[in-house]
Amino acid sequence: MSKRDLKKYLNQLTKEQLEEQILELYEKFSPVKVYYNFVFNPKEETLLQECKLKISNEYFPLQTAAKKRKKPKMRRSVAQKYIKHFISLGVDPFVIADVMLYNIEIAQAFSSENTIKQELFFKSMFNSFEQAVVFMIANGVLNEFKSRINAIHKETITQKWKNEPEFDAIIERFEY
C-alpha cells in the first residue's frame, strides 16, 4: 500500500475507528508502543544516562558481588543500536551527537589503559567518528561539539593509533 492509498483509507474512517486502529497498533507492535511512550513522555536525559551506562559497560564491565569482573566485549554495535533507536524516536540531535562521541571517548579511555591488537577496533572507531561528524554537519550541531571532536583526534595522536591520518583527514574537512 502506498502512502497515498493509506491517506485515502484513513480519510474514510471515523474518529472512533482511527482511535481503535491506533490502540490496536499500540497493543500489537512494540515499536509503536515505544514511540508513543516516548512522544508523550520524552525522558531524553534518562534514556541518555541508560545508554551511556550500557556503552561504558562494554569497555568497563561492572563487578558485582556474585560475579567476578567480566571481560570487556568492546562491541560498537551496542552504541549503534542506541543511536539508530534515538534517531527513529526523533531524539534531539544534540543528545544523539553526545552519544556518538561518548562511544568513541569511552573506547579511547579503554585503549589508553589496555593494549588492543584487533585492527578492527581502530577501523570501527574511525567509522564511528566519521559517522558522528557527518551526522553533526547534517544536523547543524558541529560547532557545539568541535572541542570534543578535536580532543578525540588529539587522543588518536597521543595513543599512536595507526589510522590517525584518517581521523586527521576528517578534521581537515571542516577546519578552516
DSSP of 62-92, one letter per residue? PP-SSSPPPPP---HHHHHHHHHHHHHHT--
C-alpha span between 165 and 87 (Å, rounded): 29
Q: What is the pLDDT of residue 64?
A: 55
Joined grid coordinates for residue 40: 508523550
The closest of 147, 64, 139, 61 to 106, measured between CA atoms, is 61
pLDDT mean for each 10 residues of the chain (176 residues): 89 92 90 82 84 92 64 88 91 95 96 92 96 95 95 96 94 75
Global model pTM greater than 0.85: no
Q: Please give the angle made by the CA atoms of 57, 95 and 174, to the nearest 5 degrees.
A: 105
Assess contact for 59 and 97: CB atoms under 8 A. no
What lies within 8 Å, CB to CB, of 86 at 6+ separation is: 47, 51, 95, 96, 99
Q: What is the pLDDT of residue 43?
A: 81
Q: What is the dihedral of CA 92, 96, 83, 123, to 10 degrees?
A: 160
The closest of 148, 152, 145, 147 to 166, measured between CA atoms, is 152
